[in-house]
């Protein structure tokens, strides 16, 4: 249930790779904002920076754009645990190798490869944060 | 009931039927010319593909230099590619970072995944071993300007060491602003002003010494696949050319007419909007010719001739049911040729998940070979010419393209609209519209949002290279070997000299880059000089 006295859920959106393709990040960030989330754009962050920014910004959800190997995302998850923010839910999108998806879902990460619907991504953000859930058509 | 008005992706309304009244006068006039004659609406060369088939020119690269070399030999000697493109690791090459840079170390498993990783000139020797540089057409890399001044001199230096005169080398650079400052902004990048200076240095250098080399190539592809629509791609490409030509004229070192031809190798995207994009290639040639003739008074027909390289849209390739992408690739390739391209790269069917596997590469080449050999596609020039529909689209794109060009000029020109975020906003607006269309189903993509199956068949795995995550460790060994065994003093001297030259705009910097790579300076050391000298550009990302 949405609670209008609550501030919007905060989502950190970052790229784990050093590959500058921004198109997917832009489209997803816009969809999250339109659904009432507050999006903090991290840009290209190292795994340790993803953890430190997530902690410093006190976010409710971390979204990682993957343009490389899954090991780098796993390192970000490890760093988040070390930084004491391992309980913040994580979802990822981008060119995740299909054979590597189980490694991420096995750690509770939701994965949205290219072609995923924005509706499904927003639903996932709502489910993972328990916030911004529309009631009677309003969010 | 109001009938839904169909339109192209870029917003041109589509009629049920086209007739003679739909062909604009300017196009009608140009239709009476022949291929190889200005304004080149009907093709760049008189006999088009009867004299020379389009070049099969595929992006390739991954892993360590040995992997790159092996793939190039496969593509060239076995699969039948007719030119080579070396794709470099985006992390180390686009940024000019050594593999032990902190930004790389924390992401080390990604190294080699987006292209081949080099630590210095010695790696280029490996990449190019057994390849006859004097007889192949090459794009050695250098998509972004700061990487081009490392990559091109490295390729040229390997040739020079083998005793091949530079004037014999044939190929192309890129140094594209759309990639660097719009499509894929890197973490650190020299500002556009510094990049322009290097591009002009390259243009001058090649114009003096390398008659068979295209020094830089405006890549509309990167504008389009970032989101600019067809007419915006056209207008922005023309604005980019004007920026180069005006600055060259201002420098006054080389004659503009002589240079116009050198920058006439332009890269466009052909997407699944195939009719519009084939028309776009025809409009592009006419606009280029008109621009050079009218704005610069260039009369030489050759100088006004645009040669086109097409890359089929990577964004059209779906992650779901990747074999469907072979069909998409074939369609986009066919219409690229119908539009008169001189060379072509077909995106791999596994594009949405990885760089191409060897099989995906082979399929991209086979698509082109089937088109070249099995359907009489090479025999007739400009087969779409005179179609009321195509000519209407061509005229409409030309008109809208010039309108967008004027919009850019009125905002201060090409560099200004990269810097102030205008192009980015245009791209973003289009991307949102496309995403909404996908979401509502108005825009259908088979296997993605229509005709889907519940339990998708896993057709292929993403290609992850031979050495996988070990690629980085192997590159680290090469870097430490380079540092240990080179003539250290020589490398440092060359780097100091490079810095002096970078600070002095009246000197062409290319020879100093050649000296630095020949002295075994590492990629990161060259990058440090550029960062130190020029600082960093901040992308106007507004998302």
Q: Which domains are seen in chain B, by residue range? A: 1-62+218-445 (3.20.20.240), 80-215+459-538 (3.20.20.240)
3-state secondary structure of A39: strand
Our CA dihedral for B477, B479, B485, B487, rounded to 10 degrees, sits at: 180
Average pLDDT, chain B: 95
Task: Please state, in angstroms and rounded to a whole number, the distance separating the CA atoms of residues B328 and B323.
Answer: 9
pLDDT surpasses 50 at A138 = no
Q: Which residues contact B502 (CB under 8 A, 6 or more apart)?
A: B509, B512, B529, B530, B533, B534
Say whether A100 and B462 touch across the interface (CB within 8 A). Answer: yes
Report the topology of domain A10-41+53-129.
Answer: Rossmann fold (3.40.50)
User: pLDDT-based confidence at B164, cuts 50/70/90?
Assistant: very high
Chain A nearest CA to B173, separation (Å): 20
Q: Six-digit token pair at B182? A: 């719009």
Task: Please state, in angstroms and rounded to a whole number, the distance separating the CA atoms of residues B143 and B195.
Answer: 12
Q: What residues in chain A have their Cβ under 8 A from chain B's Cβ atoms?
A: 16-23, 25-27, 29-31, 41, 43-44, 46-48, 67-69, 71-72, 75, 95-100, 113-115, 117-119
Tell me the average pLDDT across B196-210: 94
Q: What is the pLDDT of residue B2?
A: 59
Say whether A99 and B461 touch across the interface (CB within 8 A). Answer: yes
pLDDT surpasses 70 at A5 = no
Q: Which residues from B are below 8 Å from A69, CB to CB?
A: 109-110, 113, 464, 469
Summarize pLDDT for A36-63 with one digit per residue, the tens: 999 999 999 999 999 999 999 999 999 9
Question: Which residue, chain included where needed, has tokens 């995207």?
Answer: B269
Chain B nearest CA to A125, separation (Å): 17
Q: Which residue has the higher pLDDT, B261 or B496?
A: B496
B364, with CB counted inside 10 A (0-12, 13-18, 19+), is buried
Share of chain B above pLDDT 90, in %: 91
In this prediction, does ipTM exceed 0.85?
yes
* Of residues B95, B226, B427, nearest to A18 (C-beta): B95
* Of residues A20, A43, A72, nearest to B109 (C-beta): A72
pLDDT surpasses 90 at A66 = yes
Q: What is the pLDDT of residue A139?
A: 39
Tell me the average pLDDT across A91-118: 95
Tell me the average pLDDT across B151-157: 98
Say whether B352 and A18 touch across the interface (CB within 8 A). Answer: no
Tell me the average pLDDT across B255-283: 94
Q: Which residues from A are below 8 Å from B107, CB to CB?
A: 16-18, 46-47, 68, 72
Say whether A17 and B543 touch across the interface (CB within 8 A). Answer: no
Residue pair B278/B336 in contact (Cβ under 8 Å)? The answer is: yes
Rg of the Cα atoms in chain A? 14
Summarize pLDDT for B362-399 with one digit per residue, the tens: 999 999 999 999 999 999 999 999 999 999 999 999 99
User: pLDDT-based confidence at A135, cuts 50/70/90?
Assistant: low
pLDDT surpasses 50 at A137 = no
Question: Which residue, chain included where needed, has tokens 């896993």?
Answer: B458
Q: Six-digit token pair at B403? A: 């309108």
Q: What is the pLDDT of residue B469?
A: 78
Q: What is the pLDDT of residue B343?
A: 98
Chain A nearest CA to B439, separation (Å): 6
Summarize pLDDT for B404-451 with one digit per residue, the tens: 999 999 999 999 999 999 999 999 999 999 999 999 999 999 999 999
Rounded to whole angstroms, what are the CA distances from B37 to B48, B53, B291, B497? 12, 19, 15, 47
Chain A nearest CA to B186, separation (Å): 5
């Amino acid at each position: 249930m949405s609670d209008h006295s609550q501030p919007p859920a905060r989502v950190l959106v970052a790229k784990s790779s050093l590959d500058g393709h921004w198109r997917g990040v832009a489209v997803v960030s816009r969809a999250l904002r339109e659904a009432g989330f507050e999006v903090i754009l991290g840009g290209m962050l190292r795994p340790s920076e993803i953890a430190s920014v997530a902690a410093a910004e006190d976010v409710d959800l971390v979204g990682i754009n993957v343009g490389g190997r899954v090991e780098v995302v796993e390192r970000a998850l490890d760093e988040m645990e070390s930084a004491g923010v391992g309980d913040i839910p994580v979802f990822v999108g981008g060119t995740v190798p299909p054979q590597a998806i189980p490694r991420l879902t096995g750690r509770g990460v939701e994965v949205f490869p290219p072609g995923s619907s924005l509706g499904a991504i927003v639903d996932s953000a709502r489910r993972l944060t328990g916030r911004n859930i529309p009631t009677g058509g309003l969010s | 009931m109001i009938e839904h008005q169909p339109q192209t992706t870029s917003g041109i309304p589509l009629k049920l039927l086209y007739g003679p009244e739909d062909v604009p006068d300017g196009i009608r006039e140009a239709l009476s010319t022949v291929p190889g004659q200005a304004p080149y609406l009907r093709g760049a060369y008189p006999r088009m593909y009867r004299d020379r088939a389009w070049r099969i020119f595929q992006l390739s690269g991954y892993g360590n230099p040995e992997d790159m070399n092996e793939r190039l030999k496969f593509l060239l000697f076995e699969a039948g590619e007719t030119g080579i493109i070396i794709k470099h690791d985006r992390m180390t090459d686009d940024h000019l970072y050594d593999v032990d840079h902190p930004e790389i170390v924390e992401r080390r498993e990604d190294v080699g995944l987006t292209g081949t990783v080099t630590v210095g000139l010695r790696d280029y020797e490996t990449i190019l071993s057994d390849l006859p540089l004097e007889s192949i057409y090459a794009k050695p890399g250098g998509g972004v300007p700061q990487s081009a001044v490392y990559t091109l001199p490295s390729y040229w230096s390997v040739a020079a060491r083998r005793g091949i005169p530079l004037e014999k080398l044939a190929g192309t650079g890129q140094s594209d602003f759309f990639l660097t400052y719009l499509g894929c902004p890197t973490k650190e990048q020299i500002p556009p002003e510094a990049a322009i200076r290097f591009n002009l240095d390259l243009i001058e250098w090649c114009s003096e010494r390398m008659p068979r080399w295209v020094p830089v190539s405006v890549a509309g592809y990167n504008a389009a696949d970032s989101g600019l629509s067809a007419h915006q791609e056209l207008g922005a490409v023309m604005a980019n050319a004007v920026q180069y030509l005006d600055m060259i004229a201002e420098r006054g070192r080389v004659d503009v007419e002589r240079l116009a031809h050198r920058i006439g190798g332009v890269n466009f995207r052909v997407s699944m909007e195939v009719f519009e994009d084939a028309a776009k290639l025809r409009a592009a040639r006419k606009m280029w010719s008109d621009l050079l003739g009218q704005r610069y008074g260039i009369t030489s027909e050759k100088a006004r001739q645009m040669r086109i390289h097409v890359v089929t849209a990577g964004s059209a390739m779906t992650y779901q049911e990747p074999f469907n992408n072979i069909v998409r690739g074939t369609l986009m390739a066919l219409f690229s040729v119908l539009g008169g391209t001189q060379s072509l790269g077909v995106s791999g069917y596994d594009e949405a998940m990885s760089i191409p596997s060897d099989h995906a590469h082979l399929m991209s080449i086979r698509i082109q070979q089937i088109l070249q050999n099995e359907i009489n596609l090479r025999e007739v020039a400009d087969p779409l010419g005179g179609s009321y529909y195509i000519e209407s689209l061509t005229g409409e794109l030309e008109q809208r393209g010039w309108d967008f060009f004027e919009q850019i000029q009125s905002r201060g020109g090409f560099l200004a609209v990269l810097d102030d975020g205008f192009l980015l906003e245009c791209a973003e607006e289009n991307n949102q519209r496309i995403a909404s269309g996908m979401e509502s189903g108005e825009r259908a993509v088979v296997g993605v949002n229509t005709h889907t199956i519940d339990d998708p068949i896993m057709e292929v795995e993403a290609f992850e290279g031979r050495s996988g995550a070990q690629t980085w460790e192997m590159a680290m060994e090469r870097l430490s070997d380079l540092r240990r065994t080179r003539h250290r003093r020589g490398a440092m001297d060359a780097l100091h000299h490079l810095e002096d030259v970078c600070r002095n705009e009246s000197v062409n910097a290319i020879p100093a880059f050649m000296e630095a790579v020949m002295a075994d300076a590492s990629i990161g050391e060259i990058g440090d000089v550029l960062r130190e000298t020029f600082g960093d550009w901040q992308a106007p990302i507004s998302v």
